[in-house]
Amino acid sequence: MQLTIECVYKDETKATTITKLFTTVLWERKFKTKLSRVANDGLSQEEIAYLAWESFRDDGVKVPDDFDQFQRSLKSCLPIEANDPKVDAVLTASD
């Protein structure tokens, strides 16, 4: 699953990032959960912000080293698009 997350900072600037496998694995480790849980329970605001923070860091975007400082700098942080390909879908050359 990939999420496109838009963050709006307190100064009204906007930044968008797309999560990657690495950021999703970091999220699973931190919150001691599996990605499959999201289908039933969704994501908390803290989890969305964490995914954005790690994704920005992975992209080389300058963000605070401290996660709480990153959250304090935000006005909002919301997913704007999700790409959730079906795991059991198999494409063949004839598809």
What residue segments make up the domains of the chain, in order of their start?
2-83
Poorest-confidence range of 22-26, 62-66, 84-88?
Answer: 84-88
Express as a percent the part of the chain with pLDDT over 90: 76
Structure letter (DSSP) for residue 42 = -
pLDDT band at 1 (very low <50, low <70, confident <90, very high): confident
Give residue for tokens 């797309």.
Answer: 18
| pLDDT exceeds 50 at position 93 | no
- Residue range 17-22: average pLDDT? 96
Q: Of the candidates 13, 36, 15, which has an alpha carbon nearest to the alpha carbon of residue 24?
A: 36
Token representation of residue 87: 């795991």
Name the pTM for this structure: 0.85
Strand-pairing partners, residue 39, are none
Helix H or strand E segment including 9: strand 2-9
Whether 68 and 53 have beta carbons less than 8 Å apart is answered as: no
Token representation of residue 15: 């930044």
